[in-house]
Amino acid sequence: MSTALATRGPAASPLAPSGASRPKGRHSRRRLVPQWFLVPALVLYTIVVVYPSIAGGLYAFTDWRGGNEVTFTGLENFRKLLADQAAVASLRNTLLIAVSLTVVQSGLGLLLALALNSAIRARNVLRTLFFAPMMMPPVIVGLLWQYIYTPDGPLDTALEALGLGTVVQSWLGSSSVALWSVIASVIWHHVGMSMVIFLAGLQGIPDELYEAASIDGASPLRKFFSITWPLLGQAITIATALTMTSSLKLFDQVFIMTGGGPGVSTQTLSLIMYREAFVYGEYGYGSAIALVLTMIVAFIVFVQMSITRRGEVEA
């Protein structure tokens, strides 16, 4: 590589200084930063991310339970997963959480961004406020909402005070409601993130477009669908992909609030992966569950990237 550079270097760049102080004309065109600058980051990244991920991907095809014996069992773990009711429920719940969180949180985030972007006096205060829960540890948010949902707790009391006593129910104790209660608390925690991404997108749209549309007599609805929505494409892709990948991995809040219950009604892939691996010591099976999760996340990222690329071509 260095010889190739040395042979064509001087001819290609006559302006490059070629003093005798430089060793053997190595950096004829551009002085390249020595690659040992990369080493510390690469070493730690390899130890913490690359090696464990590859090893985890391999364990997924074994029956490893922590001892010295590891047997390659092919697709046995995945067959087991499909026959395991808790695992199937957790796969279904994980997808349900990801889709509903993405749709509702992005929708709410967009509405908030639109409301704050139009000249409301309290805009900065409200923006700060709606983003604030993002700063809180998920564990704390989980504990807070667990308390809010307790029978006769804050939510029930507030609903009764508003004359909505009839909707009161066992928010975390009923297997048909618990998942939605958890989803609502996560939306409260994260909607500020979606809002902030949309606000940044909205602020990138030039005012002249709206002014021109107003002169042409366009209605607010028409302006939204003809200007705002198409120009927000990038922000929508980022916000939805971010929400979807993070909600697929959702762990802390569910672990704290329901532990997966009642029954398997709020069980997620992250939760059963943790339980199988670190409570039952089923390292092989736990890794297989993690591999399934990885595949789903990789698929979402792939879809997002192809959408983004298409958008860039159009723009």
Partner 1 sequence: MIPITIAYLFPLYIMVSMSFKTGGEIAASTVAPPQSLYLGNYETAWVSADLGRAMLNSLLVTAVSITIAVLIGAMAAYAIVRGNRRTSTVKLMAFLLGMMIPGQLGMVPLYMLMRDAGLLQTHASLIIYYVGSLMPMTVFLYTGFLKTQSPTFEEAAKIDGAGWWKAFFHVVFPLLRPVTGTVIIINTINTWNDFLTPLLYLAGTPNRTLPVAVFSFQGEFASEWGLIFAGMMIAALPVLVVYFFLQKHVIQGFAGGLKG
- Positions 272 through 311 that interact with partner 1 (CB under 8 A): 273-274, 277-278, 283, 286-287, 289-291, 293-294, 297-298, 301
Q: What DSSP character marks residue 203?
A: H
Nearer to partner 1, 201 or 264 (CB): 201
For 72, phi and psi rounded to 5 degrees? -75, 125
> Are 227 and 262 within 8 A, CB to CB?
no
Minimum distance of partner 1 from residue 174's CB (angstroms): 20
End-to-end CA distance of the chain: give it in Å, rounded: 38
Interface with partner 1 (CB under 8 A), residue from 12, 48, 75, 99: 48
**Is 228 within 8 Å of 145 (Cβ atoms)?**
no
Spatial distance between the Cα atoms of 304 and 315, rounded to a whole number of angstroms: 16
For partner 1, give the closer residue by CB, 32 or 99: 32
Give the H/E segment covering residue 59.
helix 51-59
**Which residue from 12, 44, 82, 103 is in contact with partner 1, where contact means CB under 8 A?**
44
Write out the binding residues for partner 1, residues 123-142 only, by CB under 8 A: 126-140
| Smaller CB separation from partner 1, 36 or 215 | 36
SS3 273: helix
Of 188, 193, 94, 195, nearest to 145 by C-alpha is 188
Residue 179 vs 201, nearer CB to partner 1: 201
174-233: contacts with partner 1 (CB under 8 A): 188, 193, 196-197, 199-200
Residues 232-251 that bind partner 1 (CB under 8 A): 234-235, 238, 242, 245, 248-249, 251
User: Encoding tokens for residue 19?
Assistant: 């003093």
Which of these ranges, 37-45, 68-76, 89-97, 172-180, lies near partner 1 under the rule CB under 8 A? 37-45
Stretch in the footprint of partner 1 (CB under 8 A) among 6-14, 74-82, 146-154, 174-182: 146-154
Asked whether the beta carbons of 97 and 180 are under 8 A apart, the reply is no
59 makes contact with partner 1 (CB under 8 A):
yes
Choose between 135 and 215: whose C-beta lies nearer to partner 1: 135
HSE toward the beta carbon, residue 83, CA cutoff 13 A: 7
Report the distance separating Cα 52 and Cα 167, nearest Å.
47
Choose one: 48-56, 68-76, 96-104, 210-218; the region binding partner 1 (CB under 8 A): 48-56
Cα 192 to Cα 37, 105, 108: the distances in Å are 37, 9, 9
Which range touches partner 1 (CB under 8 A), out of 27-35, 206-214, 225-233, 259-267?
27-35
